Amino acid sequence: MYVFGDSLVDVGNNNYLETFFRANFPFNGIDFPSGKPTGRFSNGKNAADFIAENSGLPTPPPYLSNKNDLFLNGVSFASGGAGILNSTNNLPSNGTIYLSKQVEYFSEVQQRLIAKIGESEAKNHLSNSLFAVVIGSNDLFNYFSSKSKIPIRKSPQEYIDLMLSTFSNQLTQIHGLGARKFLIAGIGPIGCTPSQRLLNSSENCNEEANYWTMNYNKGVQSMLIKLKSQLKEDFNYTYFNIYDFLVSTIQNPTKYGIHEVKAACCGAGRLKAASPCTPIATYCPNRSDHIFWDEVHPTEAATKLLVNTLFNNTKQYVTSMNLTNLLAL
């Protein structure tokens, strides 16, 4: 399994960066098997862990833990704060491995594989591997943050169109390097995160952010159909509609064993979202009751629900090819 993405699937790459986007401190990891923070932006395991477990694969290690490794069992390039656009969170103090850089790193791994096991064997290895891509939330968070200056330069539609054309090129590059099986996750309802609810006194979801997230997700699905028609049987994918599943969970939480859908579990201030989850924050004892661990990230329990839905091939949320069939190709 090769993982590209952001903090939803980062398993520790940002531990090796000088960056504000880090999670290698308490109370992150409090429910991880070791009980210690690992760099995952979660109280426990994240989506990369659960996807790997359900696929019968090891969780891929972070690329920056050993840049010269062959990574024959897969690797994660995912980085907290990363976006589709190079400009997303790309500041000296907020270093992140944006998606184009992640693709560059994969190119280096692919070259080492070819040098070590030969072109034919490397091609076979990569075509049978799973490529999980979970990204885009940070680009939209940046657009809809209260301090954003991007709306002055670009309308929401122009910004989304730029995200989609950039993402299409990046997926084409990954495919060109040998990937054949893709798991693409749509973006969840970012307007319902505690950080976005804080922006209004009613603590309702930010409907504008949600509207444009839905718009982006529709664009991704159209873009994937177009890529499939261009690349034919060489390009197979599962698209996971996280948005609709999380909206359903927020609207009917008890059906899923969830009780708190607005507030974060770990943080401080209103909705526990006025400041992030740090060693001086407080955290809830009933973490499996919450959708959100901190101001933007899901709890281990919510993540497990999501990944189980993906593997159960729930038709309304999983399109194109179901993941079990994709893995069996």
Domain ranges of the chain: 2-328
With a cut of 90, say whether residue 176 has pLDDT above it: yes
Per-residue model confidence as pLDDT tens digits over 8-47: 999 999 999 999 999 999 999 999 999 999 999 999 999 9
With a cut of 90, say whether residue 68 has pLDDT above it: no
- pLDDT value, residue 147: 86
Is-cis flag, bond preceding 27, omega within 30? Answer: yes
Place 94 in a pLDDT band, splitting at 50, 70 and 90.
confident
pLDDT (mean) for 170-186: 98
Mean pLDDT of the chain: 96
- pLDDT value, residue 91: 79
Is the CATH code 3.40.1260.10 the one for domain 2-328? no
The percentage of the chain sitting over the pLDDT mark of 90, rounded to a whole number, equals: 93
- pLDDT value, residue 17: 94
With a cut of 90, say whether residue 90 has pLDDT above it: no
Please provide residue 299's backbone torsions phi and psi, each rounded to the nearest 5 degrees: -70, 165
Task: Show which residues are catalytic.
Answer: 7, 294, 297
Per-residue model confidence as pLDDT tens digits over 210-221: 999 999 999 999
**DSSP assigned state of 61:** P
Alpha-carbon gap, residue 281 to 245, rounded angstroms: 29
Alpha-carbon gap, residue 46 to 242, rounded angstroms: 15
Per-residue model confidence as pLDDT tens digits over 279-307: 999 999 999 999 999 999 999 999 999 99
Strands (E) located in 208-315? 236-240, 260-264, 266-267, 282-283, 290-292
Alpha-carbon gap, residue 55 to 286, rounded angstroms: 29
Question: What's the burial of 197, exposed, middle or buried (CB within 10 Å: 0-12/13-18/19+)?
Answer: buried
Alpha-carbon gap, residue 122 to 132, rounded angstroms: 18
Please provide residue 261's backbone torsions phi and psi, each rounded to the nearest 5 degrees: -110, -10
